Amino acid sequence: MIIAIDGPAAAGKGTLARRVAEALGYAYLDTGSLYRATAKKVLDQQIDPDDEQGCTVVALNLTPTDLKVAGLRSEEVGQAASKVSAIPGVRSALLRFQRDFAANPPDGKTGAVLDGRDIGTVVCPDADIKFFVTASTEVRAERRFKELREAGEDVIYARVLEEMRERDERDTNRAVAPLKPAEDATVIDTSGLDADQVFEQAREIVAAKQA
């Protein structure tokens, strides 16, 4: 069983994906962490995020340890991730790992939940269940603002909102694997919902599918 959860930044994909995976005993992959880890190495090695060749080499050589380094969730890394993820070589370097995870979930699990931007459209177009989780830009910026503040980053709301718009624009308009709902995805707008309510909606859809 493969469950694909896509959507824009801070829409609540990660929270939902983690809870669904836990409830069903499935493996969970945050595919954004692969792009964030690539971006962090690109920044640390002072490679230009526009250097397609250089970024692709970094993505090809990514190791599991790179996914665990501190600082992956910062806004700076998020912006750089959105730039390097538009490079076709970077995307294809990370594709095999994602498909392999979905087809052979680790630890003998019988299913996988993947969240990202292109899981239902490109990585796992045959996923059994697809969700597209979204929310208004303002609500998402507010959530990201709180998350960054709680992590100790000195951010201002207006700037977070502006960066959110920039990132949405880049993720939606890139030529390869742009952010968009798969035709067969169930859209959940989380603007007025808390995490429990979102989980409840998803749970009903999963239960109906399993029945």
To the nearest whole angstrom, how small is the minimum distance from the Cβ of residue 208 to ligand CDP?
A: 26
To the nearest whole angstrom, how small is the minimum distance from the Cβ of residue 39 to ligand CDP?
A: 8
To the nearest whole angstrom, how small is the minimum distance from the Cβ of residue 45 to ligand CDP?
A: 18
What strands, in cross-sheet order, belong to the sheet with 112-116?
Answer: 27-30, 112-116, 2-6, 129-134, 186-189
Name which of 26 and 115 has its Cβ closer to ligand CDP. Answer: 115
Name which of 72 and 202 has its Cβ closer to ligand CDP. Answer: 72
Name which of 49 and 78 has its Cβ closer to ligand CDP. Answer: 78
To the nearest whole angstrom, how small is the minimum distance from the Cβ of residue 62 to ligand CDP?
A: 13
To the nearest whole angstrom, how small is the minimum distance from the Cβ of residue 110 to ligand CDP?
A: 23
To the nearest whole angstrom, how small is the minimum distance from the Cβ of residue 207 to ligand CDP?
A: 26
Tokens of 10: 């801070």
Residue 132 · residue 181 · CB < 8 Å: yes
Which residues bind to ligand CDP, rule: CB under 6 A? 9-10, 31-32, 35-36, 78, 81-82, 85, 116-118, 167, 171
Name which of 169 and 194 has its Cβ closer to ligand CDP. Answer: 169
Name which of 82 and 134 has its Cβ closer to ligand CDP. Answer: 82
Residue 3 CB partners (closer than 8 Å, separation 6+)? 17, 20, 21, 26, 111, 112, 113, 114, 127, 128, 129, 130, 131, 206
Name which of 134 and 199 has its Cβ closer to ligand CDP. Answer: 134
Residue 199 · residue 16 · CB < 8 Å: yes
